[in-house]
Amino acid sequence: MIESTHHDFDAIVVGSGISGGWAAKELTEKGLKVLVLERGGDLQHGSGYLGEHAPAWKLPYHGKKPRELYEEEYPMANRVYAFSEATRHYWLNEKENPYVVDDKEPFMWIRGNKVGGRSLIWGRQTYRWSEMDFRANEKDGHGIPWPLGYDDIAPWYSHVEKFVGINGRAEGLPQLPDSEFQKPMPWMALEKTIESRLKKKAPDVTLTNARTAILTEDLPGRSACHYCGPCHRGCSTGSYFSSQASTLPAARATGNMTLRPDSLVERLEHDPATGRVSAVHVIDTQTRERTRFTSRIVFLCASTVASTQILMNSKSEAYPNGLANRSGVLGHYMMDHTLGISSMGVFLDNMDSYYYGNRPTGLYVPRFRNLDGQDEDADFVRGYGYQTATLRMDWTTGFNKKGFGAGLKDSLRKPGPWIFALAGFTECLPQKSNRMYLSNKVDRFGMPQVAFEMRWSDNEVKLRRDAARHGRRLQRAAGAVFTMETEMEITREEMSLPGEGIHEMGTARMGNDPNEAVLNKWNQAHGIDNLFVTDGSFMTSASCVNPSLTYMAFTARACDYAVRQMGEGLI
């Protein structure tokens, strides 16, 4: 164990979500005494999931949305499918904790408000990046090159996947490397029918299991999924991965973790004599008491926007424009994924088949555009993948239909046609003009409110149009009798809001050149060797796949490096 004789702790981790949970686990298991600071309130795994299996009559307002309350206090969170009276206690009240919203070009910033952060409500889609993703910037000239490649992070993907538990099916695709998989979740009959048709009529695409952080085989302290759903209300069996169910209990078991909820980090204190972070300044959100904690190393894992806000608010004589910001790029190059339904098809196949339970994921179509150079018919760079949803029409789709008496009731009892939806997730290019910054307004704690300037480029618009065009092609190849198609000439105004993908990233990017990047290849701040940032802010490009698995892998890798540096006396 590394002794802490001149500091309160060996390490301070800011945030307890996807990245913070992993930092806490890795650092405590390596013998460090770790303080985890979480802005949100305390929440007990299991007993804190108040709406997990609650029927409507046990929920406030019978589970219905109190529209005026939501519009006034949760205007952005209210747009997310996982927000309801069953989960409202997980989310930050936006009226009490505002940020600056541009009415003409709004940014959608989604924030959790409990220990575990957004790991309690995430979609659990977990995909590895490929070498193609890590080399994209260098190849097409958008953004700076990544300072490492797939081979550098692959062992850390394996490390976290074995602990997390990822169900999926190996496909051997270079653009989507396989993970350490548990057995895949079963397919519906229609999905098997669609797969066989796509193999014949659209062989350029692969239909596979969505790779999901939900157990299909037991792991210590966690049970395989029993398909109860809906997952975003909480999972007391720990079947889906969250820091509450997995990494925080592992850190707690070492006896080396101190968890402090209701702790808003105001700023980091920089010592010009040592060139290091010397203290973390914290505001108790309940009492407003201010406290100062010290440690040998600091890991910022508060989320992309929150960590960057802390760095921007940590000004000093050495860093007048924000801590670790000698490059001037802090806050810039913000990215997110665009999302939306690209195509929906109606199917009359397998009408004698139905399903049992609530499978908490769909299927996935990995990127198939611009794989071997630039496709001849592509007027854009990079690519996209489709997340799918399969459902059977039922009485809820026909409750307003005309009819009367027994005949109407009988028709409503019978399931209708199948629906197969393709939702495209498209890549966002890194652009300096897309940024977050500190405004002149302050919040109730006296901290400057965050503001945003972000809009989709022509490339993102063209990607969405292409996703709609190929979505229609795939529905026809799959045998849809009717397609509800997205308009081919999508405009920028018709796209999802920036931030709506809840994959915001890139505001403290990594790179080899300290004049162009905030962090080095170890997630370590250039010029501040005891400061590490491992949430989405370190991302140098966005790929088109969900990023949380990559955050986890980089966090584990950075923790290993930091502890080795401490052991060698370099930090």
Q: What is the pLDDT along the chain (571 residues), one digit of tens a residue?
A: 333 346 899 999 999 999 999 999 999 999 999 999 999 999 999 999 999 999 889 998 888 889 999 999 999 999 999 999 999 999 999 999 999 999 999 999 999 999 999 999 999 999 999 999 999 999 999 999 999 999 999 999 999 999 999 999 999 999 999 999 999 999 999 999 999 999 999 999 999 999 999 999 999 999 999 999 889 999 999 999 999 999 999 999 999 999 999 999 999 999 999 999 999 999 999 999 999 999 999 999 999 999 999 999 999 999 999 999 999 999 999 999 999 889 999 999 999 999 889 999 999 999 999 999 899 999 999 999 999 999 998 877 776 778 888 888 888 888 889 999 999 999 999 999 999 999 999 999 999 999 999 999 999 999 999 999 999 999 999 999 998 765 557 777 788 999 999 999 999 999 999 999 999 999 999 999 999 999 999 999 999 999 999 999 999 999 999 999 999 999 9
Q: Which residues contact 386 (CB under 8 A, 6 or more apart)?
A: 342, 364, 365, 422, 423, 424, 425, 467, 471, 474
Contact 262, 445 (CB under 8 A): no
Instruction: Tell which residue, 372, 375, 413, 409, has the closest CA to residue 392.
Output: 413
Instruction: Tell which residue, 435, 454, 429, has the closest CA to residue 508.
Output: 435
SS3 484: strand
Token duo for residue 175 = 């653009």
pLDDT at 271 (0 to 100): 95
Identity of residue 135: R
pLDDT at 6 (0 to 100): 62
Token duo for residue 377 = 């018919």
pLDDT at 494 (0 to 100): 82
Taking the alpha carbons of 36, 40, 43, 45 in that order, is the dihedral positive or negative? negative
Q: Which residues contact 460 (CB under 8 A, 6 or more apart)?
A: 338, 426, 427, 428, 429, 495
- Using DSSP bridges, classify how beta strands 257-260 and 34-37 pair: parallel, antiparallel or unpaired: parallel
Identity of residue 391: L
Contact 380, 463 (CB under 8 A): yes
Query: CA-CA distance, 541 to 333, in Å (whole number)?
Result: 9
SS3 284: strand
Query: CA-CA distance, 519 to 71, in Å (whole number)?
Result: 38
Taking the alpha carbons of 417, 228, 210, 188 in that order, is the dihedral positive or negative? negative
How do the domains of the chain map onto residue ranges? 166-240+339-427+457-494
pLDDT at 553 (0 to 100): 98
- Is the previous residue joined to 230 through a cis bond, with omega within 30 degrees of 0? yes
Instruction: Tell which residue, 114, 119, 111, has the closest CA to residue 243.
Output: 119
Taking the alpha carbons of 119, 123, 128, 133 in that order, is the dihedral positive or negative? negative
SS3 431: coil
Conformational region of residue 373, where left means phi above 0, alpha means psi within -120 to 50, and beta covers everything else: left
pLDDT at 404 (0 to 100): 81
How many C-beta atoms lie closer than 10 Å to residue 168's C-beta?
26
Conformational region of residue 149, where left means phi above 0, alpha means psi within -120 to 50, and beta covers everything else: beta
- Per 3-state DSSP, the chain is made up of helix, strand and coil in percentages (nearest 5) of 25, 20, 55
pLDDT at 488 (0 to 100): 56
Query: CA-CA distance, 300 to 311, in Å (whole number)?
Result: 9
Instruction: Tell which residue, 145, 493, 93, has the closest CA to residue 285.
Output: 93
* DSSP-assigned beta bridge partners for residue 299: 13, 532
Model-level pTM? 0.95
Residue with tokens 């009892």: 413
Identity of residue 371: L
Query: CA-CA distance, 529 to 513, in Å (whole number)?
Result: 15
Instruction: Tell which residue, 464, 477, 560, has the closest CA to residue 203.
Output: 477
